[in-house]
Chain A
């Protein structure tokens, strides 16, 4: 009888057998113990359509992933152009601590490279533009609160620090700051966003592999 309990729970026993099992369950503690943990399963299964049960859950395919990456690449390129064209915008930051830096894949132009880091609510992306005078920097910041004076510090391979930008203003959601440093792009190892009293808001590592490959191509 015990192996019929599951079919009974699902309601798939024939009518006569079902009646027999109902009666049996009144007296048999063993079968009741078998029924108990599975009694709720038919209710959960009822949420699934027969078609979905037969084919299994829909599986996202590689094509969808490719589309996703292509859309991200297109957006990244677009944003880089918008940011490169943007005038310096003043803003104010708050927050604390260091974030793990993530390098972002760049567009096809050999001149630009991007790094990004998030720490808590603060997200920073910096686009690097090598120039004859050193490196131009476009910083995009979000997740920061108003009323704070901040600066962007560039650090070179020897640990030398240079203030690349200082700003203060009212924060309006998301903003872009332009700065520059005399440190050549291939010597830059770190960028630090900090308050004027040296409280670090977020730190961006510039991976050496990014520097070794100034002409990275699009994703994929």
Chain B
């Protein structure tokens, strides 16, 4: 009954946050090379700009996320420049590593979708990929570490990749 004026701003911010903050944070962490505090600053400023310019969120004007990623990139660059202006915090190399926009935004977005798809797998499925592929271990080494038969590692790997492919399809990353 007491909706209306009271929560509209917060509802818009909540909708923006729920839909875009996870992807933006993941992207911002890359921009800041894992600095969580600075990455959160980038996310906050990016979403504030979106909130200030709701007209940019109109779907007919094109996909919103690439726009948000580009804004985030600019925010990160500006923050870096400000830091660089203070001698104690010079870090030009970070600027050089920032994604260059354009196709790169697409690439970064896709990378986030891959991470998101991986995160959507069951712990067992993700675990077997981490234990083998990501830690660069063979099936037999991983089997010893996990304390399961090699056949189990292989079949789990099989089902993990099937599930991953499905998750990537759902996100439109693979056909």
Contact = CB atoms under 8 A, between A and B. Distances in A.
A111 interface: no
A49 to B, nearest CB: 8
Contact of A60 (B6, B17, B58, B116): B17
B174 interface: yes
Interface string B38-58: 011001100110011111001
Interface residues of A, number: 64
Contacts of B144: none
B148 interface: no
Interface of B: 1-10, 12-14, 17, 21-22, 24-26, 29, 36, 39-40, 43-44, 47-48, 51-55, 58, 111-112, 114-116, 118-119, 126, 129-130, 132-135, 137-140, 142, 151, 153-155, 157-158, 160-162, 164-165, 168, 173-174
A113 B142 CA distance: 63
A54 B130 contact: yes
Contacts of A158: none
A68 B5 contact: no
Contact of B13 (A9, A10, A11, A65): A65
Contact of A12 (B1, B2, B10, B138): B138
Contact of A56 (B52, B118, B173): B118
B70 to A, nearest CB: 19
Interface class of chain B by DSSP: helix
Contacts of A4: 154, 158
Contacts of A25: none
Interface stretch (A35-43, A147-155, A164-172, A187-195): A35-43
Contacts of B112: 57
Contacts of A207: 3-5
Interface string A167-182: 0000000000000000
A50 B130 CA distance: 7
A52 B39 CA distance: 15
A120 B60 CA distance: 9
Contacts of B151: 3
B142 A12 contact: yes
Contact of A72 (B13, B29, B116): B13
